[in-house]
Structure 1
Amino acid sequence: MVTIIDYKVGNLGSIQNMLKKIGVQSMVTSDPDQIRSAEKIILPGVGAFDSGICSLKELGLWEALNERVLKDKIPVLGICLGMQLLCNGSEEGKEKGLGWIDADVVRFRPSEKKFKTPHMGWNYTKTSPESQLFKEMHPDPKFYFVHSFYALANDTSSIAKTTYDVTFDSALEKGNILGTQFHPEKSHKFGMKLLKNFVDNY
């Protein structure tokens, strides 16, 4: 069972549908008690950094997530804004992130007009063969992106890189904590494989 966190900023239905396609049961919740008994967690997100952090706190999810992920070490996958919330903070706002991964989120500053923001659409990623998240996957899979900010890891947590004017960290992994800047739930066969790897290998 995968627990999908509802903190009012995510596209939850498409994640549930993709999990259903690969035969994985899931539940959507904003109940801290249910999070404290979760086996695996997906933290989705679309929108602004500060509103995401504030929503986690207002719903009482901040403490529950820290307890389950940091103390109990259950696997968590952050998607898009959800991955950015795992980091130290973002140029988009003033709130501190969860700080589970030593990375900073910065704004695209295109050097040429052809690089529009947000970065939207399909793009290749260069993945780490050591990561179980990309097990038995093409080394340069294409995923679907929609974002105006991106993460830069300060440590060795980067497991995928993507280039759009600049090269940024499009997936992060630190023990039981994982994140993707792209949307696996919108990325067809590669997204299905990634979610299956998350469920099966963590």
Structure 2
Amino acid sequence: MIGIIRYGAGNIFSLTAALERLDISYGMVHSEADLGQFDRYIIPGVGHAGAAMDKLQKSGLVPSIKAQQKPTLGICVGMQLLTAYSEEGDANMLGLFPVKTLKFAGSPDHKVPHTGWNKVFAERDNPLFKDIPAGSHFYFVHSYFIEYDDVYTLAATDYGIKFSASIWRDNFYGVQFHPEKSGQYGETLLKNFSKI
């Protein structure tokens, strides 16, 4: 069963609707006492990374998340929270990945925020991307990106610059796109995560 970390910075309706469509059991994590009920976790997030980190700190869940040994997936801002630092709010994040979250420079050809469908290419074998062909389209909405890294990038995409569409370290995963809004392959990814 998946525990969705509730800390006041995630619109979870589309995520829970997708899990229900896929018949994946889930529940809510509001406090440390809730953590033991679940096999894996999702950290959702929308909006401002600095504000989201502040809310996560106030939830009291940070030490438990950092010590977590079960599969844990950050989505969008939830992925950015896993990094060491974000330019959005000039804030330290959880520090589970020694990489930074940076702001897109933008250009006439690459408007900010980056909104819409983009091709994603897995760069390492991992069960999270099982049965997802290289170049599959996923849906993005973000103004900040996680820098590409040879060690932690699991999948990459390009929007004027190559960046991490997904990261992986031990039991921690992140995706910058929204799998719950990404059609068939987004659903495949959520199913894959439910079995990791």
TM-score range, shorter chain: over 0.9
**Partner deviation per Cα, 1:57-77 (whole Å, 9 max, x = no partner):** 11111122123x1xxx10000
**Partner deviation per Cα, 1:105-128 (whole Å, 9 max, x = no partner):** 100002x31211000001101113
Which residue identity lines up with residue 172 of structure 2 in the other structure?
A: I
- Kept in 1: contact 2:124–2:155 (CA 8 A): no
Counterpart Cα distance in 2 of 1:99 and 1:155: 17
Provide structure 2 residue ranges, at least 5 long, that are not aligned to the other structure: none
How many Å apart are 1:154 and its aligned residue? 4.4
* RMSD (Å), alpha carbons: 1.3
TM-score (norm 1): 0.92
Counterpart Cα distance in 1 of 2:32 and 2:91: 21
Q: Paired residue for 1:57?
A: 57
How many Å apart are 1:43 and its aligned residue? 0.2
Q: Paired residue for 1:188?
A: 183
Q: Paired residue for 2:97?
A: 101
- Kept in 2: contact 1:104–1:153 (CA 8 A): no
Counterpart Cα distance in 2 of 1:197 and 1:61: 25
TM-score (norm 2): 0.95
Which residue identity lines up with residue 40 of structure 1 in the other structure?
A: R
**Partner deviation per Cα, 1:134-161 (whole Å, 9 max, x = no partner):** 1111111100000000001445111111
Counterpart Cα distance in 2 of 1:45 and 1:86: 11
Counterpart Cα distance in 2 of 1:193 and 1:154: 25
Provide structure 1 residue ranges, at least 5 long, that are not aligned to the other structure: none
How many Å apart are 1:3 and its aligned residue? 0.4
Identity of paired residues, percent?
A: 35
List structure 1 segments (4+ residues) > 3 angstroms apart after TM superposition.
Answer: none
| SS of residue in 2 equivalent to 1:125 | strand
How many Å apart are 1:33 and its aligned residue? 0.9
Q: Residues 54-93 of structure 1: matches in 2 within 5 Å? A: 54-67=54-67, 69=68, 73-93=69-89
